[in-house]
Structure formats: C-alpha cells, structure tokens
C-alpha cells in the first residue's frame, strides 16, 4: 500500500499522513477507543484540511477498494470510530477542519466544519448572541461531525431534540469521492428523499460529513436549575408530567439519577458534595429556561416544586441560587460516567423506553439481573425527559472485572435487550450501534427495516468501503 500512502501524502501533505513506518509515531489517539476496550491498527491516519482534500482521499481509497473509518473526537462508546486490527484501513480524522464558516442571524443558523469541537461551536453561537443547545459530557472534545454521525442526544433533547432536529443542511463526501453540497439553511425543501436525515445517525457507513448548517436559538433571559429527591421512578415520571404542565417549553432538561450512581460520585469525587442522595432512592435534575426574567423563572420553579411536594412525588428539593451552583449540580450529573470508570469495569447500556413504561422496566430488569447475577450493582441514570436511560451494570464488588466481562457480558446484554424489546424500546438511544452492538441488531430490529437499510448501504456504498463492520456488519 506504499502507492496509496504516497498518494495520500500528495493530497494532504506528508505531515498529515501518519503511519507505523516511523517507530516513533504513536497512533493511540486514533486507534484506541475511548473506553480503552479495543485497539485497532490503521494502515494510515489521514488528516485532511478541506472538503476537497477529503474528496480526493476517498476517491483514492475507492479506486483501490481500501476501507475508510471516519473519525471525529474519538469519544464514541460503541467502537464505531477506530480501525479494526487488520492494518489495512485508513482512519480519516476530520480534526483539522474546525472552521466556523458562517453565521446567519436572520435565518438563525450557523455553518461549521465537521471537526469543530462542540464546546467551540457553543462558544461561537454565544459570542454572536445565540444559543446552540446541544450539550453532552464530552462537549470539550467531541466534534459536530461525530455528533451528527451518531445523532447524539445529550441533556436538552426534551426541549430541542437530538442532533438531527438541530441540523438543516449537510456537506457530505460520498463513497465515490463526490461532494454533495447540501448546506442550505432551508426549513422547507420538499424536492425528494431526505438525504440529510439519512446521513445523520449513519455512523460514517454511507459517507463522510464534512460540514453542517445548524439551528440557532435566542439566549434564554434566565436559566434555573433544581435538584429534587423523589421516592420512586414512578414519582420521577409523575414529576416530569407536572414539569411539562407548569413549565411548558421552558423545561429544557430533566435527568434522573439512581442512589448507587450518585454514591459512586460521592465516593470518588467527595469535593462535589452530592445533595440529598443518602435519603432517597432517586434524584432528579431539572432545568427551566425562561424567555422573560429570573423572577418569573424562579416563580415557576417554586410553584412546580410546591405542587410536586403536595402530590408526594418530591420529598425534598434545592434550587441553585446562582450560575456557579447550577454548574456544580450539572457537574455532579456529568461525573457519573467518570465515577463508574474509577470504580472499575462495567457494561454500558444506552436504551430508550416509552417514558410511561420506564418504572416497570427498571423494577423488573433490576430484579432479573439480581436473580441471575448475585452481587450485581446497577448504575441507573439518564435523560428521563426523552425516555433515554443509561442502564449500566457495574462489576460485583471484589470481582475480577475482566473475568466478569468475559463470562457475563453477553448474558447481561441479552437479558437487558430482551427486556427492552418486551417494553417496545430501542437498544441504542444516542450512542449508536458501532461494532459493539452490530451482532445484536438483527435480533432486535424489524427485519424489513434491516433489509431496507442494507439496500441503501449497497446502493450508496457498493464496495463496502465506508466504515465496514459497523451498524450492519
């Protein structure tokens, strides 16, 4: 493959084509997945600096039927953005393509390149006087291309929707190395198939997203955060209903966190001072964004919490008095995943269930896991407002983590996914399918839907060079 790597160096410059030919070059940042579970080996890591260069790279790879793994910030959790172990795949890193190309205040849009880090996109929107509402724990390192590739969700989906709902246009390089110029900021375009939404969530298996035009929103006049103790998951669902009634579109965040999940944060990050967790099985984090003023927002919140206390779905609550306190509460929520990693190995599940059925799902599945795997520890938390739970299984205390994963991971996944199917849910809400779930998807996805997806893949990528082995295998 020397001829290919030479061609890629001509396209992108020698400094932006990294290989193992140089023994001093460390490709871990591109070859090792974020959870450090799987390490692949790339033929080369290619870092193009423009869409034209991306197209030329894909065209060169297509001519030799060399497969390509598009990669953003490499923060994915399902092994969808690292190469396999063959040493034959190109990792196409979009990290150099970070530009904010345009902001259109009248159209309420911002156009950015795929390698733009989410936090930088948020900052650019804020500097222009607007809000870009996508917010996740990895926002300091994930990129908008990866967010679009996986249709990321985050903490404000209850109000603004997933990344798909925030996108109005895309620029994409297809599997033949041709550029689709689709960056219009149109909210209405009824001229055929919706290629934009087809590409979003496809995990790089249909093409390479190189830029996007995204929706902006006015900055809220006030934003308040509350932390509430609730006596049960059903009480959390009841509180969500009350919050919709009392806050309407002002409800921008609604997160639920189980006691054990919060105990891990308290154990590993005691400086964060987790409130209320010792006295209650569940806590809820709510955010109210108000278009009027802080007094109005606080009045709405206080009215909601009084009604919730009277109804018995809240036993205690605190409202952040300032932005620093609010950020502290959100930091606790975002630290659960890190605390899990500190505690040891675990099995992650990113599932969605109809909100009304989540209490029964959690009760039944908790009991089944405890019955089949003595000592299992359950880290339940997530975006209750949109029905998305991170239903994670922590290795029993004192157990060998690697042995537990080897002996029990498939059993745990099958049990949980069978329950998800029984409750009419999805085995992936926002993380994607990647490689980790590709073998499970045919068991839980409608067969007609799978056949249609395979037909689309075959039509757009007939030689299967775009991120093969992911989503559809």
CA distances from 27 to 57, 210, 218 (A): 19, 22, 41
Instruction: Tally the C-alpha atoms within 13 A of residue 391's C-alpha that lie toward its C-beta.
Output: 30
Q: What span, in angstroms and rounded, lies between the C-alpha atoms of 424 and 427? A: 10
Q: What value does the mean pLDDT of the chain take?
A: 94
- Select from 296, 278, 297 the least CA-distant residue to 286: 297
How far apart (Å, rounded) are the C-alpha atoms in residues 310 and 312? 5
Mean pLDDT across 283-299 = 90
Q: Give which of 292, 379, 293 is closest to 341, Cα–Cα.
A: 379
Give the residues across from 230 on adjacent strands.
282
| Six token digits for residue 229 | 């103790």
With the C-alpha atoms ordered 257, 260, 262, 264, is the resulting torsion angle positive or negative? Answer: negative
For the residues 11-15, what does the mean pLDDT come to?
96
* pLDDT of 1 strictly over 70: no
Write the CB contacts of 266 (distance below 8 Å, at least 6 apart in sequence): 272, 274, 277
pLDDT one-digit tens code per residue, 105-157: 999 999 999 999 999 999 999 999 999 999 988 899 999 999 999 999 888 88
Q: How far apart are CA 116 and CA 109, in angstroms?
A: 15
Confidence at 452, pLDDT banded by 50, 70, 90: very high
Question: How far is 468 from 342, CA to CA, in rounded Å?
Answer: 32
Q: Is the pLDDT at 251 greater than 70, yes or no?
A: yes
pLDDT tens column, 214-245: 999 999 988 999 999 999 999 999 999 999 99
Q: pLDDT (tens digit, 9 = 90+) per residue, 378-416? A: 999 999 999 999 999 999 988 898 899 899 999 999 999
Choose among 379, 284, 275: nearest CA to 337. 379
Tell me, what's the pLDDT at 464? 97
Q: What does the pLDDT read at residue 326?
A: 92
- Beta partners for 64? none
pLDDT of residue 36: 80
Nearest-angstrom CA–CA distance, 394 and 339? 11
DSSP 271: G
Q: Extract the tokens encoding 19.
A: 């290989």
Q: Are 241 and 234 in contact (CB under 8 A)?
A: no
Gap between the Cα atoms of 73 and 80, Å rounded: 12
Torsion angle in degrees (nearest 10) through CA of 318, 320, 321, 326:
160
What CA–CA distance (Å, rounded) separates 405 from 376?
12
Q: What is the mean pLDDT of residues 443-456?
A: 96
Question: Domains of the chain (ranges plus CATH)?
Answer: 2-93 (3.30.43.10), 100-218 (3.30.465.10), 222-337 (3.30.70.2190)
If phi > 0 it is left, if psi is from -120 to 50 it is alpha, else beta; for residue 446 that is beta
Report helix angle 294-311 to 233-247, nearest 10: 140
**What is the pLDDT, as a whole number, of residue 37?**
80
- What residues have CB less than 8 Å from 421, skipping those under 6 apart? 427, 444
- Residue 322 sits at φ, ψ, to 5 deg, of -155, 175
pLDDT of residue 355: 96
Per-residue confidence (pLDDT) for residue 345, from 0 to 100: 86
Query: By mean pLDDT, which of 31-45, 53-67, 419-433 is the weakest?
Result: 31-45
pLDDT for the residue numbered 189: 92
Strand partners, 227: 285, 318
What was the pLDDT predicted at 33? 87
pTM: 0.91
DSSP state letters, 134-197: ---TTTTT-BHHHHHHHT---TTHHHH--HHHHEEEEEEEETTSPEEEE----S---SS--HHH
Q: What pLDDT does 24 receive?
A: 81
| pLDDT tier at 473, thresholds 50, 70, 90 | confident
Q: What is the pLDDT of residue 79?
A: 85
């Amino acid at each position: 493959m020397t001829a290919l790597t030479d061609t890629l160096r001509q396209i992108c410059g020698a400094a932006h084509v990294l290989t193992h030919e140089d023994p001093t070059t460390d490709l871990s940042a591109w070859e090792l997945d974020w959870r450090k579970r799987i390490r692949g080996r790339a033929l080369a890591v290619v870092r193009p600096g423009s869409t034209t260069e991306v197209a030329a790279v894909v065209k060169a790879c297509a001519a030799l039927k060399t497969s390509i793994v598009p990669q953003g910030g490499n923060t994915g959790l399902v092994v969808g953005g690292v190469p396999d172990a063959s040493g034959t795949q190109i990792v196409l890193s979009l990290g150099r393509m970070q530009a904010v190309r345009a902001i259109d205040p009248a159209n309420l849009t911002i156009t950015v390149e795929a390698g733009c880090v989410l936090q930088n996109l948020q900052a650019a929107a804020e500097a222009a006087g607007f809000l870009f509402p996508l917010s996740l724990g990895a926002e300091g390192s994930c990129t908008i291309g990866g967010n679009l590739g996986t249709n990321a969700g985050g903490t404000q989906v209850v109000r603004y929707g997933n990344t798909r709902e925030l996108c109005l246009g895309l620029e994409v390089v297809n599997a033949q190395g041709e550029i689709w110029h689709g960056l219009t900021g149109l909210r209405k375009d009824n001229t055929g198939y919706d290629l934009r939404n087809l590409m979003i969530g496809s995990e790089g298996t249909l093409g390479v997203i190189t830029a996007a035009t995204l929706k902006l929103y006015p900055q809220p006049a006030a934003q308040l955060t509350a932390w509430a103790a609730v006596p049960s998951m059903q009480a959390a669902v009841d509180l969500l209903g009350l919050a919709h009634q009392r806050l309407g579109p002002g409800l921008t965040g609604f997160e639920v966190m189980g006691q054990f999940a919060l105990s891990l944060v308290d154990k590993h990050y005691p400086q964060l001072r987790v409130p209320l967790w010792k006295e209650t099985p569940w806590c809820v984090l709510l955010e109210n964004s108000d278009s009027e003023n802080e007094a109005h927002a606080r009045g709405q919140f206080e009215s909601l919490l009084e009604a919730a206390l009277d109804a018995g779905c809240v036993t205690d609550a605190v409202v952040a008095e300032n932005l620093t306190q609010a950020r502290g509460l959100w930091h606790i929520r975002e630290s659960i995943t890190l605390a899990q990693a500190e505690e040891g190995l675990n099995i992650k599940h990113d599932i969605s269930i109809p909100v009304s059925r989540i209490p029964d799902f959690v009760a039944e599945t908790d009991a089944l896991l405890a019955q089949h795997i003595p000592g299992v520890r359950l880290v339940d938390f997530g975006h209750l407002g949109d029905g998305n739970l991170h239903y994670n299984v922590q290795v029993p205390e004192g157990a060998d983590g690697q042995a537990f994963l080897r002996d029990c991971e498939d059993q745990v996944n099958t049990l949980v996914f069978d329950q998800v199917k029984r409750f009419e849910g999805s085995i992936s809400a926002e993380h994607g399918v990647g490689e980790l779930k590709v073998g499970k998807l045919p068991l839980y996805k409608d067969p007609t839907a799978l056949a249609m997806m395979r037909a689309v893949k075959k039509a757009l990528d007939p030689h299967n060079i775009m991120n093969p082995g992911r989503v559809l295998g």
